[in-house]
Amino acid sequence: MDSQILVGISACVLGEKVRFDSGHKASAFVNKELSPYLRFVAVCPEVGIGMSVPRPTIRLISDKQRIALVETKDASKDYTDAMQSYANQKVDGFLDQPLCGYIVCAKSPTCGMERVKVYGNNHAEKSGVGLYTQVLLERMPWLPVEEDGRLNDPVLKENFITRVFCLADFYQSMGDEPTRGKIIDFHSRYKLTLMAHHPDSYRELGRLVAHIADYDLDDFVARYRLGLMNAMAHRATRKNNTNVLMHLQGYFKRALGKKEKAELRKVIDDYRVGLLPLLAPLTLIKHYLHTYPDPYLADQRYFQPYPEELRLRYGL
């Protein structure tokens, strides 16, 4: 897969000194571990609409009509329309590129993804979404979006990176001209992955692909992409992963001897009850797959959803 996967990012998270106090919020994970695999498009919406560095702080306020973006100490200085216009302009540009994800700055009144403070009637509620990110989420609902702070959680981090690489694989698989054959091949490679993330969506997408001939191809690509990424947004649970591992076990029932079968059963069960990480049964199954090749299993992205060097499955 192309090592330069395009991902948007709040410029301060990349380390640019663009915050209101001339500081940054550089993420070590982003800058040290992700940067070899992703090509970042850095955006600071506040600088983008012409605000200075440093600058007065801004916040979201609520009146009965709308949520507005204003200066903290002078609410007459209103940046709402400018920010929404800028956000729509940036998204217009992203729609022309194979953007595969976005990392935003938590709690920011422009970039926060959730629980952003909204002030009104002398109190603040953590109920808002940053104005820039809200436009991004509304206009690109398939796009994997995550906050910098949440990437410290190993499960959330692994899920986000899985989604980014999945969407990149989808775009790369479609190439310049999607075809029904390319979609069917892609879906086949992601069957086990979808089973692990959301079994209901796995079944729904299977039915959708079975009727691909009934759709205009462009409409189908858009519908499939949204369904795929909504499914992948569900985190793969231990229960679902165990079901996939047991499904994989069935492929080797004729090839493995009694001792090997017992070993595989035990490793899967030890993962199921939390004694071993997911990596343990996967490593053993990959060993058996190397010894007893199966073309269908060899193509499954479930075994390597992203570069192994990222070591994201160690804690799962």
Mean pLDDT of 7-11: 98
> Are the beta carbons of 67 and 128 closer than 8 angstroms?
yes
Q: Which domain holds residue 15?
A: 5-52+81-115+130-151
CA gap 229, 233 in Å, rounded: 6
Counting the structural domains of the chain, the total is 2
94 and 157 inside one domain: no
Q: In this predicted structure, what is the pLDDT of residue 3?
A: 55
Banded model confidence at residue 265, pLDDT cuts 50, 70, 90: very high
What CATH number corresponds to the domain at position 45?
Answer: 3.40.50
Closest to 48 in 3D by CA, of 77, 12, 100: 12
313 and 193 inside one domain: yes
Q: Name residues whose C-beta falls within 8 Å of residue 227's C-beta, 6 or more positions apart in sequence.
A: 201, 204, 205, 208
List residues bridging with 124 in a β-sheet.
119
Does some domain include residue 59?
no
Q: In this predicted structure, what is the pLDDT of residue 135?
A: 98
Q: In this predicted structure, what is the pLDDT of residue 237?
A: 95
Q: Which stretches does DSSP call E strand in the chain?
A: 5-10, 38-43, 58-62, 67-71, 102-104, 116-120, 123-128, 145-147
Identify the residue with better confidence: 313 or 85.
85
* Span 93-111, pLDDT tens digits: 999 999 999 999 999 999 9
171 and 134 inside one domain: no
Q: Is residue 2 predicted with pLDDT exceeding 60? A: no
Distances (CA, A) of 43 to 7, 12, 31, 83, 91: 11, 8, 15, 13, 11
32 and 167 inside one domain: no
260 and 270 inside one domain: yes
285 and 252 inside one domain: yes
* Span 61-86, pLDDT tens digits: 997 788 999 999 999 999 999 999 99
Q: In this predicted structure, what is the pLDDT of residue 314?
A: 80
CA gap 150, 144 in Å, rounded: 13
Banded model confidence at residue 304, pLDDT cuts 50, 70, 90: very high
State whether residue 117 is helix, strand or coil.
strand
Q: Which two tokens stand for residue 311?
A: 């070591």
Q: What sign does the CA torsion over 162, 163, 164, 170 have?
A: positive
Does some domain include residue 163?
yes
Length of the chain in residues, anyone?
316
258 and 231 inside one domain: yes
134 and 39 inside one domain: yes
* Span 159-202, pLDDT tens digits: 999 999 999 999 999 999 999 999 999 999 999 999 999 999 99
CA gap 306, 26 in Å, rounded: 23
Q: In this predicted structure, what is the pLDDT of residue 58?
A: 97
* Span 229-262, pLDDT tens digits: 999 999 999 999 999 999 999 999 999 999 999 9
15 and 29 inside one domain: yes
Q: What percentage of the chain carries pLDDT values higher than 70? A: 99
Banded model confidence at residue 122, pLDDT cuts 50, 70, 90: confident
Mean pLDDT of 200-212: 97
Does some domain include residue 67?
no
Closest to 46 in 3D by CA, of 82, 91, 94: 82
Mean pLDDT score across all residues of the chain = 95
